[in-house]
Each structure stands twice: as structure tokens, then as C-alpha cells.
């Protein structure tokens, strides 16, 4: 039996103003590749090829700036294909674009691979995911409520340490 086709993600779209900068005038705007895609590809708006040596990093322009509505952020995330095939990832991933930032979106690419990686104009280098944000209202207290996990961290989940207390 054939599984059902993927359905589009059931979300309410939000209007986001975008500006294509001069050095990316020939690029299409970021778009969702499939109905189930959470992110849109960002492209390298470099003028010439950019070589990133193993262990090095580079700030790569995307040629776009956005104005998010209040209450949203945009997350710049790595592309899994670049990570698997070349060891290319993003530092500070996900990078957060705040709703009040109006500058060009750029990606900090890092080469964790063993060979030089060449970024070419128009290459898909990262993903952009929009997300709602929540704001904390701190309530200062002298203690916190108990939980099964307690203070266990850094590899403690699933080890049964909570049950041995």
C-alpha cells in the first residue's frame, strides 16, 4: 500500500516585507521548496568565488533584508546536504534575526571538513525559518518546584539517574 502524499503544513501565513539588495538583483526571493518545507533556502550573494579552508569561517551575504512583524523571529540554520557532503555548517546556529533588525541577512559558514570549500554565487548556503517568539516575565523565588529530572544535565536524561535518587 502506498503511503499518502505529504500534505502542506497547516499554518497561517504571515506577511513579511523583504528587500532584495543590489548585489542580489538577479536572485529569486527565498521560497519553500515543497509543501512540507519549514525553511526557505538562502543563497550566497558573493561577487566572486569565496574559498573557505578547513577550520576557517566566513561571513557570507545573502542579498536580502527583511522586516519581520513584532512577535516573530527568523532563524538562519545550516543545510543538511552541505553538512553531510562537505562539513559546512553555521556558527551560532540557529542565528536569530530579530523583528527590529533591518540589515542584510548574512550567514557565518564554517568549514569542519578536510578540504577547501568554494562558495559560488547563487549557491544555497543556509535555510531561513520563521518562528513565533515568547517573552518571559521573571518571577524571582527562593526555590523551584521539584521535577523527575532535578538538576541532572549534560547527558543525564535516559540514564535512569532520576529513579536512583
Provide mean pLDDT across the span 66-79.
98
Lowest mean pLDDT among 23-27, 61-65, 92-96, 152-156: 152-156
Q: How far apart are CA 42 and CA 32, in angstroms?
A: 11
State the pLDDT at residue 161.
53
Nearest CA to 117 out of 61, 63, 44, 64 is that of: 44
As a whole number, mean pLDDT of residues 127-148 equals: 95
Q: Where are the domains of the chain?
A: 17-132
**Fold of the domain built from segment(s) 17-132:** Deoxyuridine 5'-Triphosphate Nucleotidohydrolase; Chain A (2.70.40)
**Per residue in 81-110, pLDDT tens?**
999 999 999 999 999 999 999 999 999 999
* DSSP letter, residue 3: P
Which of 128, 47, 41, 53 minimizes the C-alpha distance to 88?
Answer: 53
Flag whether pLDDT at 165 surpasses 80.
no
Residue with cell 534575526: 97
Amino acid at each position: 500500500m502506498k503511503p499518502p502524499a505529504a500534505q502542506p503544513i497547516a499554518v497561517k501565513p504571515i506577511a513579511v516585507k523583504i528587500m532584495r539588495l543590489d548585489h542580489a538583483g538577479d536572485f529569486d526571493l527565498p521560497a519553500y521548496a515543497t509543501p512540507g518545507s519549514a525553511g526557505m533556502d538562502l543563497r550566497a550573494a558573493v561577487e566572486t568565488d569565496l574559498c573557505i579552508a578547513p577550520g576557517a569561517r566566513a561571513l557570507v551575504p545573502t542579498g536580502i533584508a527583511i522586516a519581520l512583524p513584532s512577535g516573530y523571529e527568523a532563524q538562519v540554520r545550516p543545510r543538511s546536504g552541505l553538512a553531510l557532503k562537505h562539513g559546512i555548517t553555521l556558527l551560532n546556529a540557529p542565528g536569530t534575526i530579530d523583528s527590529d533588525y533591518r540589515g542584510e541577512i548574512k550567514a557565518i559558514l564554517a568549514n569542519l571538513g578536510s578540504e577547501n570549500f568554494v562558495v559560488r554565487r547563487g549557491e544555497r548556503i543556509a535555510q531561513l525559518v520563521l518562528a513565533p517568539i515568547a517573552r518571559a516575565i521573571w518571577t524571582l523565588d527562593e526555590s523551584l518546584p521539584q521535577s523527575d529530572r532535578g538538576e541532572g544535565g549534560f547527558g543525564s536524561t535516559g540514564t535512569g539517574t532520576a529513579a536512583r535518587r
